[in-house]
Structure 1
Amino acid sequence: MTSSTTKSTTKPTQSTPKPTAQSNADFHLPAGKAAAGPYAVDIDPERAGWGYSSLRVLELPPGGTHAFATGDSEWIVLPLSGGCTVAADGETFDLHGRADVFSGVTDFAYLPRDTEAAITSTAGGRFALTGARCERRLPARYGPASAVPVELRGAGTCSRQVNNFGAVGAFECDRLIAVEVLTPGGNWSSYPPHKHDECRPGEESELEEIYYFEIAEAHGTEGVGYQRVSPSGRGRGTDVLAEVRTGDTVLIPDGWHGPSIAAPGHTMYYLNVMAGPAAERAWLICDHPEHAWIRATWPDQPVDPRLPLYEAPTAPSGDAR
């Protein structure tokens, strides 16, 4: 059995630092570059240079356990592969998990700020911890896979699937917004390019965002994808054109982001983690004015017949969780 403990010493941040003169390498973190301690990925506000959003990816061997303090952030424990037991606030949640991100919707567990938590996996697995600094302390809860809304967005070669496990309106959090996106090989998602880097009530939210990628192998070969982020004239002037592979992350403090391009033959998965300074938890985006017209073409096109890759399972009879 392996065991590790992580203590948070961060304090809530009310303003977002905005350093300048950063390069592509500051925002695209290839697999392994963001590793620290027990985590294959460990991105917190200090490392990202912003105020709220966090992502950790924890890999546990069979029988492994990991203990950590949630600190000033709320967290969702999301199995990427395998299942686990999550204990926090006197509650214990058994997560059935899944074989991998391309095979099904997963259940998950919500952990409040200011608590001690532990994740244990009998068979081993990989688990994402999506986090956001927050003020309210909500109760620890179980999120069943059957309650995750599976949405198809776009049409034609812009078709993609969104698993809205931590979306606004789907699951209550204080600041955290998190979803999964699956894009069939050859398609573009996160398109038209859009942004959410300023607060315009009723029109746009200010949200920091992390993209975490996994690319399906095919015919024994590793897959690749491509991610574009272009400057919007605000913040750091984020400018990224990255070839992404399994385990890579892209940080988006500002800017027009998209497209996310899946190479033909390789399904692309990405996990989006968002949070920001506004008191209201909302996901409001602004499309790039030069590309927004693409949405008007979708009603005349069918959704990619490869979608959905899978749907949420039916809730077991009598399951009140």
Structure 2
Amino acid sequence: MTSAHHLPAGKAASGPYAVDVTPESAGWDHSSLRVLELAPGGTHLFTAGDSEWIVTSLSGGCAVTVGDDFGRDEFELRGRASVFSGASDFVYVPRDATATLTSADGGRFALTGARCSRRLPARHGPAESVPVELRGTGNCSRMVRNFGAAGVFECDKLIAVEVITPGGNWSSYPPHKHDENRPGEESELEEIYYFEIADHEGTPGLGYQRVSPSGHGSGTDVLAEVRGGDVVLIPDGWHGPSIAAPGHDMYYLNVMAGPGEDRAWLICDHPDHAWIRDTWPSQPVDPRLTRTTQ
């Protein structure tokens, strides 16, 4: 099954970005993602425009300078060796600002964005403050790093988290949705999945992503084999599972934003699969996660 919502590595590239998903290119209103690759000594300047951004490392570190009519802030983004080595620190860039990234040793950086109306100050978020959640048990075990989650780090609209799924496990499971505004029960959020898959002894990895129509929105329907650098766009629908092939740990970065007045991640489980949560208390968390660097 092919879908315009699955963008294999390179398909969403534009200019200096290996991935450049904008509201216009995605056909929606709020969420954005850019992946920037900087060579050693490289510099990149971008304008925030009408969106707020969180800059985080996929690999390597950089200096981030944020400037606007109100002044100039300089931050050091220590970064990390890879997305599988632990959480990264990050920098918040407010709307209507410019930001310059400079990397002495080179690296790859994710710019997660959301259109917003409120202007918040530029800030640095340390890796040590990122809440790490072990979600699910058994072969549904995964690790969630809630660096830009609602209720964790203040933004106007942007929600961003990252997930590590050990090889052979399922995450984003049970399938769930957030495509309706139901106060206190469900948020309306567009979502971007960006994938990286760990090699095994030099062999590139793969995984699978499913999105099925929920009866709301455009009827998004995706069954995709995903590899490192792939993107899946989810304007609506039940999404999950995200399946990691045995021997290949899966990473994905989630970027979410929507029209709701409250910045909240409220989901509805698929009624045919919600029962799986009841089995979790009787199973241990996958021990590979308890040993994983957070």
TM range, smaller chain: over 0.9
Question: Structure 2 unaligned runs (5+)?
Answer: none
Alpha carbons of structure 1 residues 273 and 65: separation in structure 2 relative to 1, 3 Å:
same
> Superposed, which structure 2 residues align to 1:1-321 within 5 Å?
24-89=2-67, 90-308=72-290, 310-312=292-294
Shift of 1:68: 1.0
SS, match of residue 186 in structure 1: coil
In 1, Cα distance between the equivalents of 2:153 and 2:213? Answer: 31
Counterpart in 2 of 1:19?
Answer: none
Preserved CA contact (<8 Å) 1:105 1:310:
no
In 2, Cα distance between the equivalents of 1:180 and 1:139? Answer: 23
In 2, Cα distance between the equivalents of 1:179 and 1:200? Answer: 22
Matched letter for residue 97 of structure 2: T
Residues 141-197 of structure 1, C-alpha deviations (whole Å, 9 max, x = no match): 000000000100000000000000000111000000000000000000000000000
In 2, Cα distance between the equivalents of 1:148 and 1:88? Answer: 22
In 2, Cα distance between the equivalents of 1:236 and 1:271? Answer: 23
Please tell me the root mean square deviation across aligned C-alpha atoms, in Å.
0.9
Residues 56-96 of structure 1, C-alpha deviations (whole Å, 9 max, x = no match): 00000000000011000000001000000000030011011
Matched letter for residue 50 of structure 2: D
Q: Where do 4+ consecutive residues of structure 1 move more than 3 Å?
A: 308-312
Alpha carbons of structure 1 residues 111 and 308: separation in structure 2 relative to 1, 3 Å:
farther
SS, match of residue 307 in structure 1: helix
Matched letter for residue 77 of structure 1: V
Residues 12-47 of structure 1, C-alpha deviations (whole Å, 9 max, x = no match): xxxxxxxxxxx8431000000000000000000000
TM-score (structure 1 length as normaliser): 0.89
In 1, Cα distance between the equivalents of 2:90 and 2:104? Answer: 17
In 1, Cα distance between the equivalents of 2:267 and 2:290? Answer: 24
Matched letter for residue 195 of structure 1: K
SS, match of residue 199 in structure 1: strand
Residues 232-255 of structure 1, C-alpha deviations (whole Å, 9 max, x = no match): 011110000000000000000000
In 2, Cα distance between the equivalents of 1:24 and 1:87? Answer: 41
Residues 85-137 of structure 1, C-alpha deviations (whole Å, 9 max, x = no match): 00003001101100100111110000000011100100000000000000100
Shift of 1:309: 5.2
In 1, Cα distance between the equivalents of 2:150 and 2:81? Answer: 27
Structure 1 stretch displaced more, 300-309 or 221-230: 300-309
Preserved CA contact (<8 Å) 1:24 1:240:
yes
SS, match of residue 306 in structure 1: helix
Preserved CA contact (<8 Å) 1:166 1:178:
yes
TM-score (structure 2 length as normaliser): 0.97
Shift of 1:308: 3.5
Amino-acid identity (%): 76
Aligned length: 290
Higher strand share: 2
Shift of 1:219: 1.5
Matched letter for residue 176 of structure 1: L
In 1, Cα distance between the equivalents of 2:139 and 2:244? Answer: 10
Matched letter for residue 205 of structure 2: G
In 2, Cα distance between the equivalents of 1:124 and 1:310? Answer: 25
Counterpart in 2 of 1:3?
Answer: none
In 1, Cα distance between the equivalents of 2:40 and 2:291? Answer: 28
Shift of 1:311: 4.6
Shift of 1:53: 0.2
